[in-house]
Amino acid sequence: MLRSSIPDGLAVLVLSCSAPLWAGGGMTAEHVVDLKAVRQVALSPDGKRIAYVLRVQRSADDAPGKPWAELWIAATGSEPRPYVTGKRAVSDVSWRADGKAVTFLASDGPDADAQVQEIPLDGGEARRLFEHAGSIALHRPSPDGRWLAFTAKATETPEEKKSKEQGRDWKVVDEKPNYRRLWIRDLSAGTSRAWIAEDLDVLDLAWAPDGRMAIVRATKSTRVDDDYMLSKLYRVSLDGAAAPLVETPGKLGGFAVSPDGRRVALLGATSRNDPLAQSVFVVPAEGGAARNLTEGLEASGAEIGWVDERTVLLVASQGTRHVLFQLDAETGRRSEIAWPRLIVADLHVRGSRIAVAASSPEHPAETFALDVGKAPARLSRHNPGLDGVRLARQESIEWKGQDGLGITGVLTYPLDWREGTRYPLVLQLHGGPEGVDLDGWTTGPLEPVQVLAAAGFVVLQPNYRGSQGRGVAYSKADHDDLGGKEFEDVLAGIDQLAARGLVDPRRVGTGGWSYGGYMSAWAATRWSERFRAAIVCAGLTNWIAFAGTTDIPNEMSLVHWDSWWFDETELHWARSPLAHLATARTPTLIVHGEADTRVHPEQSVELYTALRLKGVPTRLVLYPREPHGLDERAHQLDFIERTADWFRTHLGSGTGS
């Protein structure tokens, strides 16, 4: 359904009618999967409006698939207005240079390619700007309004289609890669041309303010691993000449060109084995050496943007919270900006005007606007039903690892917590291992924290060494020691809660996805005597086999292990959960998506088979079509309910003692 120029009163009605009628108890699985969340924000050229993407779950009657995504526009002092709603998958929202229309990517049907579409600010229907052969992955209108850059893969040729029909459809790995090519469209002439002749897979792009050149991030292959580890920044002129901008040693993140076009700020790694693109560098726009503006900062950069020609705004994770800094590109001086208890999911900066999608312990990501140095104003409220749901108490905590290193985490109390009572504890372990759990909205389909709290469990989300949020040294502190001191950090957190009299150390369970799944499998085997229940989700169980089946063998080996499995075979096997079956007795629920290319489902099958043969209570659930996580509503509901039931069965009812 397409809507624009909706009167304010009707916009309120849309928000109210879309709210689920929730009771006044704690959160349920249905509450969690049906939550809406803002995913991307884009400021209009004059800074007065914010276009944003809203994730909306499919209904039970919809065909299985990912959640829908809608286009909304908000402004200070008025209710947000829906512009593109219904069963659509809007993404990559931007503005025309004159601010009179919003552009975005969407397809016209379930089997159609995503194309650049546009909807006027003052009313009308969305329309395709042009037709391109193939699905468009990203688009960036130039600031001067003349050009539109976009990327797309090539479609099948008639010869390739015929070969498929005749059964000649074998695949030769790494042969004839299908690049995301960079295209440029002259908006006035209505013509498109390939912009770069070189074979590059283009991943992101930022225009210079004058529209005469752009900075792109690209790799020379289409492998996911190379996207992680080998992408580079290039300076591309309008004639298509592409030249490397700067030498970078490892991962790259977001980047932006300064308002005067003289500098490029980027998030990058300090070395090849840096697990994160967490440091802010500035490099001349014509190319040259990069300067690190955050050297020694015990925080991890997450989002950046230019405030003026010499000031970079940085959002960084520090412990369990987000902090904001202004960085002087000339002097390197850093100054912290006052920031409330909000966790930023997306950031867009236009001068001193800022738009963010941000969450808090009380709500998932919503749209906020602010001027630099002032308090953010909340513009959207897409889950009014949360006002009728009791939320468990949540706080940040700190403790010491066995070697004295400071560790942080997020602690959630049982919904009806009574002081002086011990409760069963459930760990929710983040992935990565360079992920982080922040003190914002912590509940989702893969980590149903508030559902577990409503069931009577204490929930701890620890940021063990190797996590982001404490700077480069901390994120490297688990190198060649996976499952070692980082897991001892987790055990120390359990011990602290037990010493406080909050949890019963005899009733501890653990769960997590990906690397969190590895940590939970490690808990269920190597540390089985400490855990009464485990849930292993898309987890790594055999490091040797994983290295040969994952789509990120370089990333996992270079920035986390900091060693190759074929050079350190004994160590990598010794840190595999499957190597410790002799001590395994923890009841273990294992779940995996059948379409997972990051952690192959065979990792879960191996663990299930071994535990079953040993007589350890175990169950394996495979979710069809799902990648490295769960997208479909029915699968999410099933997982949350299985999670709560597994912990109730093996840890007790969740009541205190």
User: How would you write 396-455 as a 3-class SS string?
Assistant: EEEEECCCCCEEEEEEECCCCCCCCCCEEEEEEECCCCCCCCCCCCCCCCCCCHHHHHHC
Q: Is the pLDDT of residue 298 over 50?
A: yes
- Four-CA torsion 36, 37, 42, 47, nearest 10 degrees: 90
More confident residue, 16 or 571: 571
How many Å separate Cα 15 from the centre of its chain?
A: 26
| pLDDT score of 358 | 98
Query: What's the CA gap between 272 and 275, in Å, rounded?
Result: 8
The whole-number pLDDT of residue 621 equals 98
* Beta strands, E only, 220-285: 232-237, 242-244, 252-257, 263-268, 279-284
User: How confident is residue 625, by pLDDT bands cut at 50, 70 and 90?
Assistant: very high
Distance separating alpha carbons of residues 361 and 355, to the nearest angstrom: 20
Measured in whole angstroms, how far is the alpha carbon of residue 311 from the centre of its chain?
A: 26
DSSP letter assigned to residue 194: E
Q: List the domains of the chain with CATH numbers.
A: 130-163+177-244 (2.120.10.30), 392-651 (3.40.50.1820)
**What does the alpha-carbon distance between residue 632 and residue 195 come to, in Å, rounded to a whole number?**
37
What is the per-residue pLDDT for 653?
76
- What letter does residue 294 receive in the DSSP assignment? S
Whether pLDDT at 2 is above 80 = no
Backbone phi, then psi, for 77, in 5-degree steps? 90, 0
* Spatial distance between the Cα atoms of 186 and 146, rounded to a whole number of angstroms: 6
How confident is the model over 72-96, as a mean pLDDT? 95
The pLDDT score that the predictor gives to residue 20 is 37
At residue 551, what is the residue type? D
Whole-number Å distance between alpha carbons of 15 and 380: 10
Report pLDDT for 3.
35
Q: How confident is the model at residue 656 (pLDDT cuts 50, 70, 90)?
A: low
Q: What are the tens digits of pLDDT across the range 370-398? A: 999 899 999 999 999 999 899 999 999 99
Check residue 160 and give its pLDDT: 85
Distance from C-alpha of 108 to C-alpha of 207, rounded to nearest angstrom: 28
Which pairs count as long-range contacts for 227-233, CB under 8 Å and 24+ apart, including other chains?
227/201, 227/203, 228/552, 228/554, 228/555, 229/272, 229/554, 229/555, 229/558, 229/559, 230/554, 231/203, 233/264, 233/266
Distance CA 311, CA 296 (A): 19
Segment 444-453 shows an average pLDDT of 98
Give, rounded to a whole angstrom, the gap between the first and last alpha carbons of the chain.
53
Measured at the CA of 602, the angle between CA 597 and CA 603, to 5 degrees, comes to 90
Looking at residue 224, its pLDDT comes to 95
Angle, CA of 175, 178 and 180, to the nearest 5°: 145
For residues 41 and 346, the answer to whether their CB atoms sit within 8 Å is: yes
Cβ pair 205, 138 in contact under 8 A: yes
Q: Scanning the structure block, which residue is given the tokens 């030249």?
A: 243
Mean pLDDT of 446-465: 98
pTM above 0.85, yes or no: yes
| Residue of higher predicted confidence among 278 and 2 | 278
Strands of the 406-412 sheet, one edge to the other: 394-400, 406-412, 458-463, 423-429, 503-513, 533-537, 588-593, 618-623
pLDDT at 8 over 70: no
Q: How big is the CA angle at 203 (ends 201 and 223), to the nearest 5 degrees? A: 50
**Whether the Cβ atoms of residue 92 and residue 69 lie closer than 8 Å to each other:** no
Give me the pLDDT at residue 110, please. Answer: 79
Q: What is the pLDDT of residue 22?
A: 37
Mean pLDDT of 403-425: 96
Given this model, what pLDDT does residue 108 score? 83
Q: How many residues does the chain have?
A: 657
Question: Across the chain, what does the average pLDDT equal?
Answer: 94
Per residue in 127-169, pLDDT (tens digit) is 999 999 999 999 999 999 999 999 999 988 888 889 888 999 8
For residue 74, is pLDDT > 80? yes
Q: What is the pLDDT of residues 10-44, one digit of tens each?
A: 233 233 333 333 334 899 999 999 999 999 999 99
Per residue in 172-228, pLDDT (tens digit) is 988 889 999 999 999 999 999 999 999 999 999 999 999 999 999 999 999 999 999
Q: How far apart are CA 613 and CA 603, in angstroms?
A: 16
Q: How far apart are CA 125 and CA 1, in angstroms?
A: 10
CA distance 303 to 25: 36
pLDDT value of position 657: 67
Dmax over CA atoms of the chain, in Å, equals 74
Angle between helices 515-525 and 485-499 (to 10 degrees): 70
Do the beta carbons of residue 474 and residue 467 sit within 8 Å? yes
* Residue range 457-496, pLDDT digits in tens: 999 999 999 999 999 999 999 999 999 999 999 999 999 9
